[in-house]
Amino acid sequence: MRNSILILAAATCLVGANTAFAQETEQAPAKAFAGSRVEATIGLDQSSDDALSGGELTGLRAGGAAGYDVAIGKRVTIGVEGGIGWVIAGSAKIGPFPSTGSTTYKTDAARDIDVSARIGYALSPKTLIFAKAGWADLRYDTHGSDGRDYGPSTANGLRVGAGIEQKLTKNVYAKAEYRLTRTDDYLGHDDRHQLLTGIGVRF
C-alpha cells in the first residue's frame, strides 16, 4: 500500500511538471528552444564555378554540430554553435595545367569547420526559424594523375545561413538549413553552398 502511494505521488508530480512546462512554453515559446544541443546533418555541398580554376565541386556532406541557446524574451533565442563536416562523395576533375600537359587533377572538399553565432525566432513551441553568421575553415585535397598529392590546401571566410527547426518530441528535433561560405585565396573567389537536413537532441 505504501509503495502504491509513493508511485502515485511520483506520477502526479511528473504530470504536474510536464503540464507546467507545457503552459510555460505556450506563453513563452522561446524557452522550448533553450539549452544545449547536439545534431547530425547530411546534405548537398557545392563550390561555385569560379572555384578550383573553373571546376565545379559538388558532393554529399555529412557532419554534426553542438551548440547552446538562451531565450531572450518570449520568442527570441540567441546562441553559439560549432560544427564540422566531411564531403563523403563527390570530386572535381581539373586540368591539365598547362593545357599542353598530360597531368590532370582530382580535387575533393575534404572537410569544413565553423564557429557561428545564431539568433532564432519561435513561431510556436514546436517551430523555430533562425539565422546564423560566423567563420569557417575549409580544406581541399588534390591528387594528380601522376600519382602525386598536391595539398592539402585550406581557405577560410565568412559563413552565413538560415533555417528552420521542428520539434518531433520534447527533446528531439528535425532541421533544414542553407549555408553560404565566401572565401578568397590563391584558388580565386569561391562561394560554397550547403543545403543540409538533420536530426538533433536538445538537453
Domain of residue 155, residue span: 2-202
Mean pLDDT score, 143-160: 82
Query: 33: domain CATH number?
Result: 2.40.160.20
Position 14 pLDDT exceeds 60:
no
Distance CA 19, CA 10 (A): 14
Distance CA 133, CA 164 (A): 15
The three-point CA angle 7-12-18 to 5° equals 125
- 25: confidence class by pLDDT, cuts 50, 70, 90: low
Mean pLDDT score, 131-138: 96
Mean pLDDT score, 10-14: 43
Using an 8 Å Cβ cutoff, are 43 and 58 in contact?
no
What's the pTM? 0.77
Distance CA 44, CA 3 (A): 55
Specify the higher pLDDT residue, 145 or 17: 145
Position 10 pLDDT exceeds 50:
no
Distance CA 41, CA 32 (A): 21
pLDDT in the model for residue 185: 60
pLDDT in the model for residue 126: 97
Residues, the chain: 203
Say which residues have a Cβ less than 8 Å from residue 53's Cβ, sequence separation at least 6: 94, 97, 187, 188
- Round the average pLDDT of the chain to a whole number and report it: 82
Domain count, the chain: 1
